[in-house]
Amino acid sequence: MDVTSHSFDMPAVPGLRRDPNPAFYASRRPQSATISRPSTAGPVTLRPLQSTWATTSGEMGRSIPRPSTAGASRPKWESTAAPPLCFFGFFSEPVAQGGGNDTKMGTRIRPVKISFYPTDSSITIDEPKTKNSGLPQGRFMRRMKCTIADEGEPTGKRAFNASDFSVGADVLVNSRSFTITDADPATRRHFREELGQALPPGMAIPDDGYKALRASRGIPKKKKEGVSKPKGEYFNKDPLVLCFKCAYQDDKLYGERRDYLLYYYVLNDTIEIKEVAAQGRHNFPNLLRRQKLPKDSFYVPNGIGGAMTEDNNHSEYDWITWRDMICGRSLNIYGRKVLLVSCDNQSVAWFAKQGIVQKPLKLSVEETEGAAGPKVPAYNGYGSEDDLYAMGASLEPKIIDRKLEDFARFMRAKGKVLRFLARLVDAAGQDADREFVINYFLATDQVSVYEPPIRNSGIVGGLFLGKGRYKKFIRANGIDGEVETPVGGGRGGRGGALSRWIKPTDFYLNALVTFEMPSTGSKLFTLEVTGYDDYTKKIMMSDKDEFPQSATELDVARLSEKFTATKLPIRAIFHECDKFGSRLLNADAFKQCVRDIEKEADEAGTVKIYDLPDSELDQLLTDFGTFSEEEGCQVVHYDDLVDLMVLAAPRTAREYERDRQGTFAFSVEERMLKVIRTHFETAGTSKLRQSFRANDEEGSGYINQEAYKTVLRKHKFHLIMTERAADALRMQYDTNADGTLNYNAMCDAIHPGDFDKYVDAYIGPKKYGETPTIGGSKNPLASTVKTAGEGLTTEEYLKNMNDDNFTFSGDMQRQLTRAFNSFSSCFARHNRKKQMRKHMTAFDIYHTGTVTRAQFLSTIDDVTAEFFIDFDKRDRDLIIDYFFSNDEVKISADKLLAAICSRDPKKAKTLREESMRKHIDVDKQFMVVDEQRSRDFGGTLNLFSGPVAEYTTAANQH
């Protein structure tokens, strides 16, 4: 086949390449195909590569045939290779049997397969693999050429040939003798046809007994009848692991609470208890390693450690099983009473299949909120509050989101300084002419006050207030944040009850700003803003990042601050103006109501905030009003205004401090308020009531369950409550008992618009010396706001459990036994008992050998303090009350110690009865002695009557 083409016409076909010298390659390697050889001036010849491919596809889609190269690239041994001759045989190997003095040599027979290749006279030897033989079997000798002794050769050696192998012959390969026992059929046929000789019949490989020995050891032993153990319930039980949350309270002195996780393995009724890691103490992973747990045992029985099975059967113990694992009950873990608080959902479902309903303990609200964080002290004025709380929460403070936001704001507002012109308020004399420049640094929220110098005024100008962060002093009506009334956020409770950090929106025209020192809570001075420069006006009008509030929102914030400080019940006042209870007011009634509230706040004089101008009040009408077709005029939803005022109201220092520390047990309504307040700080609006109103098509004030849950999801309340809690909240405000929700009543509870109750609830102590209550068990507004139900705390459950366990449900016999055991453990030692006798002897001045109640109590306390003994006072009081019915009873000291240390309640009872018989009551003794009087009068004058006369008569008869 001729293949000719021009270089530019031939595509780049894989497998073909240009041949610059075709004559050279033609002389070196012959081709099976005929290639035309044109002149060198003609087209270039293409030579195919040496490949076994038949064809190769080109880029043009055509197939180019390949010249055959079979045999040209194959190795010589492949073309001339012949199948090997296979022989079977064995070789013997000496083996030492036995051990010590009984060692003797034996022989082991190892079978092999010998392959002889006639083409190059090479040999391979393979040994069949035997399972678990312990020998490195397989390829015994790789393929190689070996020699055999031959005297006829000059060297005395020659290569193997086929005639050297025969059945029954011994072949010496590499100094090892192999005996050939058989050959495969192909080898026998080769000997018969090619060599003209037949191989002898095959022979058996000798048996060394090792194969039979291994076979005997591999046979499993037969089980004796009647000895096999039953499988029990191991294969019938569920491999599930039940998980319980547990709690333990040490009722000893300085005892602490521990939380545990209990794992119950249903498979073999074993229990494992792990401790929940907590801050402030070492982490001990296990309270009880996995084992069976006996009931009411104070000592660990021998041989029950680890994951027990039925092999370690202790039938004398009554083990704890899953039937004993009920939430609300307690388990005795070798003397520790552990309370089962709750279990996981998987365990609840498993118990339900067994017919047991698990009801976790109903905990109080503060525990359902999660574990409280570490308590940090109140702000002391040094540094920033964020740094204080970050360092109080962890030894390694982390960067909080607030810090990241502040950094972004710092970079955005870097270099921006607002300047306001101000003057002193209520200044007299030459101070009235003093002017100040307030510099507000947007990047850091810091303020400095500069006083321009005035020539010949006698007042030195310059820096009037150093650069720093300051608070705006806001006092509550009738309460000043001084030493006598520590309600502020400064050191010692000084400062305004509603003081907050100064914001740039506080400096509007004619605004009155009272500065407060954050560290001390001291009120500095009050400035009135009289003007600002053009740069400040431009920033306040155009920078929406720093001033996102609208004019209406700023007006509402000012009204809220004024009404909160005055402690006015805003919602109640609006309700009084709403004579028809429609929660709507027309424009004139709304204006008049707002003016009346402002007048009452101005008369109180708590906060100096000017009244709203008429133009801004009209803007409030526009934002919160709507046109009513029924009345034919504009009406105002005043509830929306009150809700917005609640969100914009300043928070008290105590509320802010408690909220930052997480020490409140918030109700469901208050948690919703926290979420709404977060949205208000970012968006500046509150539309919860409006969302409910939009779903109330009839305008009745009630919505169904579906609309209720839709509104909750819209405002992200599903993130803070479960569906069960949402249903419980709806049922509280189902005033018609028809499954609907009175959303106005619920919104009123979420937004407490009566600021008098709000401020009084969160204000803190109002008297000097009164300790501020931070993190109480109840929320201050719990009495004014409905809750979804509260239960006991875990500490209260544990206290009740420990009290019931300590008293043994009123069993006096068991109480005495425990008290005697505790007393003996503490005082039965020789030196301690000797010291007790010494103390009691010191009280016995008449050497009667007895002791009274007060003397025995003093002896116990003195010895306890002297030897640092941890003796439970409850056991001490029980022993004293049992033996001494009153202060006059005297008991032998030696007999008393012997009775208690013997730990025998019967012996103690005998001693108690004996002491009661010997004791003579003073009053009764007087009556017996007074019997002589009746004898002196000859029995004619009876001075006693009633029960006393009966006692005297009985004494005479005795």
Cα torsion at 809, 813, 818, 820 (round to 10°)? 150
- 862 shares its domain with 901: yes
Q: Assess whether pLDDT exceeds 70 at residue 401.
A: no
What are the tens digits of pLDDT across the range 407-416?
777 777 788 8
pLDDT in tens, 893-910: 999 999 999 988 888 989
Sole residue written with tokens 């310059």: 462
Q: Tell me the β-bridge partners of 242.
A: 264
Pick 403 or 622 by higher pLDDT. Answer: 622
User: Are 57 and 91 found together in one domain?
Assistant: no
Asked if the structure places residue 161 within a domain, the reply is yes
Identify whether 130 is part of a domain. yes
> With 60 as the cut, is the pLDDT of residue 744 above it?
yes
Integer angstrom CA distances of residue 542 from 66, 531, 532, 550: 82, 18, 15, 12
CB 409 within 8 Å of CB 543 = no
* Domain membership flag for residue 180: yes
Secondary structure percentages of the chain, helix, strand, coil, to 5: 35, 20, 45
Q: Which of 272, 252, 256, 254 is nearest to 264 (CA)?
A: 272
Give domain status of residue 645, yes or no: no
Q: Residue 309's pLDDT band (boundaries 50, 70, 90)?
A: very low
Same domain, 424 and 500: yes
Same domain, 433 and 346: no
**Assigned domain for 768 exists:** no
Same domain, 162 and 308: no
For 263-305, write each residue's pLDDT tens digit. Answer: 999 988 899 999 988 767 777 888 899 999 998 877 776 655 4
pLDDT reported for residue 246: 93
Query: Which pLDDT band holds residue 583 (cuts at 50, 70, 90)?
Result: confident
The answer, as to whether pTM is greater than 0.75, is: no
How much is the pLDDT for 673? Answer: 74
What is the per-residue pLDDT across 928-946, written as a single tens digit (0 to 9) for each? 444 444 444 444 444 444 4
For residue 783, the model assigns a pLDDT of: 37
pLDDT(392) > 90: no
225: left (phi over 0), alpha (psi -120 to 50) or beta: beta
* CATH assignment at residue 901: 1.10.238
Last-in-domain residue among 548, 563, 580: 548
Same domain assignment for residues 202 and 317: no
Q: Is residue 907 part of a domain?
A: yes
Residue 38 pLDDT > 70: no
Bigger pLDDT: 454 vs 320: 320
- Domain count within the chain: 6
What letters, b where the CB count within 10 A reaches 16 and e where it falls short, cover 568-605?
Answer: bbbbebbbeebeeeebbbbeebbbebbeebbeebbeee
pLDDT at residue number 282: 77
Q: Are 692 and 711 in contact (CB under 8 A)?
A: yes
- Would you state the pLDDT for residue 778? 37
Note the pLDDT tens digit of each residue in 703-716: 888 888 888 888 77
pLDDT at 758: 66
**pLDDT tier for residue 140 given thresholds of 50, 70 and 90:** very high
Mean pLDDT of all residues in 220-242: 62
Quote the pLDDT of residue 637.
83
Average the pLDDT over each of 231-245, 443-457, 723-737, 862-876 and give the range with the smallest value: 231-245
Of 548, 580, 604, which one is at a domain's C-terminal end?
548
Residue scoring higher pLDDT (830 or 721): 830
Residue-level pLDDT at 558: 81
pLDDT at 188: 92
Q: Strands, E, within 710-778: which ranges?
A: 741-742
Is the CB of residue 1 less than 8 Å from the CB of residue 34? yes
Q: Could you give the CA distance from residue 176 to residue 599 in angstroms, rounded to a whole number?
A: 124
Instruction: Please check whether residues 914 and 934 belong to one and the same domain.
Output: no
What pLDDT is attached to residue 733? 81
| Tens digit of each residue's pLDDT (9 = 90 or more) over 90-126 | 999 888 776 556 667 778 889 999 999 998 889 999 9
Distance of CA 637 to the CA centre of its chain: 45
pLDDT > 60? residue 2: no
**pLDDT bucket at 368, cuts 50 / 70 / 90:** very low
Check if the beta carbon of residue 584 is closer than 8 Å to that of residue 675: no
For residue 145, the surrounding DSSP H or E stretch is strand 138-145
Q: Does residue 770 lie within any of the structural domains?
A: no
Based on the fold, state whether residues 821 and 953 are members of the same structural domain. no
Q: Which residues form the domain of 420? A: 385-548
Distance CA 275, CA 248 (A): 10
Tokens encoding 364: 């109080």
699-713 residues labelled b (16+ CB within 10 A) or e (exposed): eebbbeeebbbebbe
Question: In this structure, what token pair is assigned to residue 556?
Answer: 């509402």
Residue 58 and residue 62: Cα distance in Å, rounded?
6
CATH code assigned at 460: 2.30.29.170
Cα–Cα dist 75/575, whole Å: 110
Kindly state whether residue 6 falls inside one of the protein's structural domains.
yes
Greater pLDDT, 452 or 543: 452
Do 264 and 408 reside in the same domain of the chain?
no
Give the domain-ending residue among 29, 57, 74: 74
Q: Are 414 and 510 in a shared domain?
A: yes
| pLDDT tens string 483-542 | 445 566 666 567 777 888 888 888 888 888 889 888 777 888 889 999 989 888 888 888
What average pLDDT is seen over the chain? 75
Residue 890 shares a structural domain with residue 864: yes
Distance CA 421, CA 530 (A): 5
- Cβ-proximal residues to 344 (8 Å cutoff; 6+ apart), any chain: 243
Domain shared by 286 and 399, yes or no: no
CA distance 212 to 209: 5
Beta carbons of 300 and 289 less than 8 angstroms apart: no
Q: How far apart are the first and last CA of the chain?
A: 153
> Band of the pLDDT at 728, cuts 50, 70, 90?
confident
The whole-number average pLDDT for the span 21-49 is: 46
| More confident position, 70 or 315 | 315
Percentage of residues in the chain having pLDDT higher than 90: 18
